[in-house]
Amino acid sequence: MTKTLRIRIPPEVRNYVWDRDRHQCKSCGCPATAGELTIDHIIPLAKGGTNDISSFQTLCRSCNSRKKHHLDPRFQRYFDL
C-alpha cells in the first residue's frame, strides 16, 4: 500500500466541508466555531486514504487528536484495512 502525500487543503475546500458537515464534529456531534474545527481524512493517508473531497470529514480538535492516524471506528466495517 502506497502512502498518499499530504497536501495543504485550500480554504475553499475547507469551507465547503465545514458547510457540508453543518459545522458539527462528525464524531461527537458538537457544534463548533471554525477555530475549533479541523478537517480530517476518513481513511488516514498512512493507510491508503486519498486527498479527494469525499474523504474529508469535520472533527473538533479533541476528537481529531484522539483519532490520530487510526481509522475512524464508525467506518471500520466498510474497509478491510
The pLDDT score that the predictor gives to residue 76 is 52
With 0.85 as the threshold, say if the pTM is over it.
no
Specify the 3-state DSSP secondary structure of 17.
helix
Q: What architecture is domain 11-78?
A: Orthogonal Bundle (1.10)
C-alpha neighbours within 13 Å on the C-beta side of residue 38: 14
**Which grid coordinates are listed for 69?**
492516524
Domain coordinates in residue numbering, the chain: 11-78
Secondary structure element (H or E) that encloses residue 64, with its range: helix 61-67
pLDDT tens for the chain, 81 residues long, are 567 788 899 999 999 999 999 999 998 898 877 678 999 998 888 888 899 999 999 999 988 888 766 666 665 555 554
